[in-house]
Amino acid sequence: MKHVPVLLEAVIQALGDVNGKTVIDATFGAGGYSRALLNAGATVIAFDRDPNVVDDVKKIRDEFKDKFRFIQQPFSFIHDLPDVYDAIVFDLGISSMQIDNPERGFSFRGDGPLDMRMAASGKSAADLIKDSSIDDLAQILREYGDIKKASILARAMKDTEPKTTFELKKLIRNPRDIAPVFQALRIAVNDEMGELTKALAVVPEKLKIGGKCICVTFHSIEDRIVKNIFRNWTTPVGDPRLPSVLAPRFVLMKTVTPSETELENNSRARSAHMRGVIKSY
């Protein structure tokens, strides 16, 4: 299944006129956001740690030449960029190409190695289970999957040390827990929340005045991180009763969720939220 970028139209509309501007696409994926931005006249710097995006990167590079630059790194490497930019866009979660390939081990719908590595390097999900304690595994399941009987499942995972997606799936007694368990392991394997927090921490220094940061989130954990950070950025600094209070550095944009039409065409958009801020000074 070809990856369909979620809330693309809403993101482009929220960014406004990007002709002649430089935009960071923090999550290249299949290049849907990058292509739309380039077609609108922007120069794009794109990040992705997944080595399997190379074919899509080549197509866009061949078409747009020096208007497009790709950096094969996690988006936390935004901190290494030397300049300030007009916008930074995060389309979080995982792509259809990752989910639909059983060899990547992200999905419980097909059997494959219990991998889940976005960068195809470092510890796999099977390694994580093997190397973690029961308590650590239970914490991962509770924090990232909201699994109620996390300790029981963590012990079963340690006892069997599953190597494939179907071996893990067989251990999960409650069918409703299957997707959350896979999600929890994926988040831990790729340090997704740590990457997001590190990347957002440098956004204020990487945006021009009037620049926009837009995040499309897909589950409550990452959405909570984005919402709380944006709330901090858009809150006045200091005691509001005193004249020395500083105006917030950012203004909050309207939150957007997928339309019924988009949901009909792309069921994976169901949990998406688009949040954005504009830098004031």
| Domains located in the chain, CATH noted | 8-97+193-279 (3.40.50.150), 120-189 (1.10.150.170)
Q: Does the pLDDT of residue 244 top 90, yes or no?
A: no
**What's the average model confidence in pLDDT over 138-159?**
97
**What's the average model confidence in pLDDT over 69-86?**
97
- 8 A C-beta contact, residue 75 and residue 94: no
Taking the CA atoms of residue 205, residue 206, residue 209 and residue 210 in that order, the dihedral angle to the nearest 10 degrees is -130
Give the tens place of pLDDT for each residue, 2-45. Answer: 567 899 999 999 999 999 999 999 999 999 999 999 999 999 99
Give the tens place of pLDDT for each residue, 153-180. Answer: 999 999 999 999 999 999 999 999 999 9
Q: What percent of the chain clears pLDDT 70, i.e. is strictly above it?
A: 96
Closest C-alpha to 269, from 261, 278, 280: 261
